[in-house]
């Protein structure tokens, strides 16, 4: 921790692909952020429906999504799929690869996307040198943990309506950072089948459930955009409490009021 790691501290450098991403803002100090940006590999552009990582395929890179959507998924022998995480811009797709050689899931890019990779060994070395980076990795892992726990509750104990509503609440919060404002709208490039694979349902039933939500004025869809006209009511139906998304734009304000 005594040596100056980067030459970039004083010199102007081209704005890295990570600049401004939610991923980067998980790291608190400029020094840490610059160290990470220096370790990042060039941007990759990916087409829809490409596997960034096949199930069980080893990798030595961490992938951060800059643009587009992806997912982590697992499959069963009979071919049915469960999406275990939706990866949106600013998310890391495979944090597990940092410490486990062989991921037990696949990572698929769902839309046109751009990613940036960081070699695992570089990331590990940075975590070793900067305690803040190591802690940020732990925080990211624990954050995924909280989302997965919430999904377990939804998958195990909630109706199709509630699951769908909960997912929309979660995405609204993660994507727009909204805080129960009454009207939220965002791009949702998932097919009904992908929604079904996320929620543990079939696409047919997702379709019918969506119609119910539309009929009750809780959801509007147009093109690939979804609008939530009455977030409070949707949250009530889903029993959604954003506290589990420890991240989010306004969360840290609880710790130090000097943000935003």
Partner DNA sequence: CGGTTCGTTGAGGCCCATCAATCTATGTGG
Partner DNA sequence: CCACATAGATTGATGGGCCTCAACGAACCG
Q: Which residues bind DNA (CB under 7 A)?
A: 159-161, 191-193, 196, 200-205, 207-211
Compose the 132-171 pattern: x for residues touching a copy of itself by CB under 8 A, - for all others: --xx-xxx-xx-xxx-xxxxxx-xxxx-------------
Residues 193 and 204: their CA atoms lie apart, in Å, by: 8
Select from DNA, a copy of itself, none the partner in contact with residue 202, using the beta carbon and a kind-dependent cut-off of 5 to 8 Å: DNA
How, if at all, do strands 113-119 and 44-46 pair?
antiparallel
Residue 34 C-beta: closest distance to a copy of itself, Å:
20
Whether 225 and 186 have beta carbons less than 8 Å apart is answered as: yes
Which is nearest to 198 in space by CA: 85, 78, 53, 107?
Answer: 85
If one counts every other C-beta atom within 10 angstroms of the C-beta of residue 36, the result is 24
Looking at 8, 119, 177, 200, which residue binds a copy of itself (CB under 8 A)? 200
d(CA 112, CA 69): 8
The CA R_g of the chain, rounded to the nearest whole Å, is 19
243 binds, among a copy of itself, DNA, none (CB under 5 to 8 A by kind): a copy of itself
Angular region, 177: left φ>0, alpha ψ -120 to 50, beta rest? left
193 touches, from DNA, a copy of itself, none (C-beta below 5 to 8 Å by class): DNA
77 in contact with a copy of itself (CB under 8 A): yes
Look at residues 190, 189, 84, 93 and name the one whose alpha carbon lies nearest to residue 147.
84
Q: How far apart are CA 62 and CA 83, in angstroms?
A: 19
Told to check if 95 binds a copy of itself by CB under 8 A, we report yes
As measured in angstroms, the least distance from the Cβ of 63 to DNA is: 22
- How many residues contact a copy of itself, by CB under 8 A? 52
CB 79, min distance to a copy of itself, A: 10
From a copy of itself, DNA, none, which one binds at residue 205 (CB under 5 to 8 Å depending on kind)?
Answer: DNA
Nearer to DNA, 29 or 80 (CB): 80
Instruction: Identify whether the C-beta of residue 108 lies closer than 8 Å to the C-beta of residue 51.
Output: yes
Decide if 108 contacts 81 (C-beta within 8 A). no
Q: Which residues bind a copy of itself (CB under 8 A)?
A: 56, 72, 74, 76-77, 80-82, 84-85, 95-96, 98-102, 104-105, 124, 127-128, 131, 134-135, 137-139, 141-142, 144-146, 148-153, 155-158, 199-200, 239, 241, 243-244, 246, 254-255
């Amino acid at each position: 921790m005594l040596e100056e790691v980067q030459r970039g501290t004083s010199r102007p450098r081209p704005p890295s692909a990570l600049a401004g991403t939610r991923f980067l803002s998980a790291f608190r100090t400029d020094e840490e952020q610059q160290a990470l940006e220096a370790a990042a590999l060039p941007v990759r552009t990916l087409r829809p429906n490409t596997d960034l990582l096949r199930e069980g395929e080893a990798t030595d890179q961490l992938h951060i999504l800059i643009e587009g959507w992806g997912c982590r998924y697992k499959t069963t022998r009979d071919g049915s799929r469960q999406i275990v995480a939706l990866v949106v811009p600013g998310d890391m797709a495979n944090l597990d690869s940092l410490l486990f050689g062989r991921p037990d899931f696949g990572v698929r890019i769902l839309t046109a996307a751009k990613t940036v990779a960081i070699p695992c060994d570089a990331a590990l070395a940075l975590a070793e040198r900067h305690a803040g980076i190591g802690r940020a990795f732990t925080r990211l892992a624990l954050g995924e943990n909280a989302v997965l726990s919430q999904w377990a509750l939804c998958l195990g104990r909630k109706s199709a309506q509630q699951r769908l509503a909960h997912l929309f609440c979660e995405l609204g919060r993660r994507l727009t950072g909204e805080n129960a404002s009454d009207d939220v709208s965002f791009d949702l490039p998932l097919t009904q089948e992908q929604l079904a694979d996320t929620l543990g349902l079939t696409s047919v039933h997702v379709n019918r459930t969506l119609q119910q939500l539309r009929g009750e004025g809780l959801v509007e869809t147009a093109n690939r955009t979804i609008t939530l006209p009455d977030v409070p009511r949707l949250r009530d139906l889903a029993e959604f409490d954003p506290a589990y998304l420890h991240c989010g734009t306004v969360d840290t304000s609880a710790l130090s009021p000097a943000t935003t």
